[in-house]
Chains A and B, each alone.
Chain A
Amino acid sequence: MSRIESTTFRDSLSVSFTVGAYGTAFGAAAVANGFSVVQAALLSLLTFSGASQFAVVGVLGAGGSAFSGIVTASLLGVRNGVYGVIMAPRLKVRGFKRVVAAQITIDESTAVALGQESRSESAMRQGFWLTGFGVFFFWNLFTLAGALGAQAMGDIRVWGLDSAVPAAFLGLVWPRLKSNRDKFLAISCVCFALAMTPILPAGLPIIATAFIAIAVGVRA
């Protein structure tokens, strides 16, 4: 690997630390929703995709089945697969390196890599690896801190953790609401999920909104 460009290094590190720090919120949310500290830590190590992780703890916390939790998390994880399609021809790695690259293919590593592409091809690759490993390190560290902290708290409502989870989801969706179509979809899904909650088993109203997204996306 050639010399690491200082701008790439700075971009990667700042993203890694800020994003990794959200791990605290995830660790706390997992424990608040009934997951153990070990399960929270494993989700961050193995699933390693914030939105999917929040989704699975959110669905089980709301009384949904393991199946509903897995499906919701996986639908959110499809995004990472698409990033993989974009990154593979740029990284050009095989075998074990490809396995490692796949595991750290997330929103942030892809975004930083593509952001460095105008600088140089090596800066783009460095951005991907540095951000991927950086977020992985801090995300896991802070997940553990959040999970242990929440375990020590007791009644989570006293600390407002039951509001931290929906606020985290809102923080994740907010920057994605760019066009009027996005906002219309978001509001429709809120109404649909609430209307279906008393009727469908917990978790299914959330999964069903993916079909609204498909309908809107195909029609447009």
Chain B
Amino acid sequence: MNAFWIATIGTSVIAFLLKYIGHNVPERFFAHPKVQSVNTLIPIALLSALVAVQTFTEKSKLMIDHRLAGLVVAIIALFLKAPFPIVVISAAFTSAAIYNWF
């Protein structure tokens, strides 16, 4: 079994367990404000790190290339309150244009 299969199955099993355990834990368990605060902050941290790594790295090396143009356009789209699909498509279109022309 290769890494992609292990990741697919492992992620799926844990994802379900987390959901199911949640349904079986008493509500007061999560009442503490610090627990709730950490719960909203973790996705922010991980997703921000993923944006950075997916845009500026290639096999453990830092790199600036056509993907930066895509990201800049995505940021502009988000500032203009564009819906999610427009953000993704405009980033892909820009990045493809730069990659194909230079």
Give A residues with C-beta under 8 Å from B: 18, 21-22, 25, 34-36, 39, 42-43, 46-49, 51-56, 58-63, 65-66, 69-70, 72-89, 98-99, 101-103, 105, 157-174, 176-177, 182, 185-187, 189-194, 197-198, 201-202, 205-207, 209-210, 212-214, 216-218, 220
A189 pairs with B14, CB closer than 8 A: no
A49 pairs with B15, CB closer than 8 A: yes
A163 pairs with B22, CB closer than 8 A: no
- The 23 sampled A-B contact pairs (Cβ below 8 Å) are A22-B85, A47-B15, A47-B16, A51-B43, A56-B7, A62-B57, A62-B59, A70-B10, A101-B23, A102-B16, A102-B23, A163-B69, A164-B88, A166-B70, A166-B91, A169-B47, A170-B51, A171-B74, A189-B44, A189-B48, A198-B60, A205-B53, A206-B53
B residues in contact with A159, CB < 8 Å: 92, 96
| A interface majority secondary structure | helix
B27 pairs with A51, CB closer than 8 A: no
Give the number of residues in B that approach A within 8 Å (Cβ atoms). Answer: 77
B15 pairs with A48, CB closer than 8 A: yes
B60 to chain A: closest CB distance in Å?
6
A58 pairs with B54, CB closer than 8 A: yes
B72 to chain A: closest CB distance in Å?
10
Given contacts A168-B84, A189-B44, 12 further A-B contacts (CB under 8 A): A47-B16, A48-B15, A52-B11, A74-B18, A77-B18, A84-B24, A105-B23, A166-B74, A170-B75, A176-B43, A205-B53, A210-B45
Given contacts A70-B14, A73-B15, A194-B56, are A163 and B46 in contact (CB under 8 A)? no
Give B residues with C-beta under 8 Å from A: 3-16, 18-27, 29-30, 34, 36-57, 59-62, 66-67, 69-71, 74-75, 78, 83-85, 87-97, 99-100
Q: How far is the CA of A188 from the CA of B3 in the complex (A)?
A: 30
B74 to chain A: closest CB distance in Å?
4
A residues in contact with B66, CB < 8 Å: 157, 163
B residues in contact with A60, CB < 8 Å: 3-4, 7
Q: How far is the CA of A94 from the CA of B52 in the complex (A)?
A: 42
Given contacts A76-B43, A77-B15, A88-B22, are A167 and B87 in contact (CB under 8 A)? yes
Q: How far is the CA of A21 from the CA of B43 in the complex (A)?
A: 22
B19 pairs with A84, CB closer than 8 A: yes
Which of A77, A99, A171, A206 makes the CB contact (< 8 A) with B84? A171
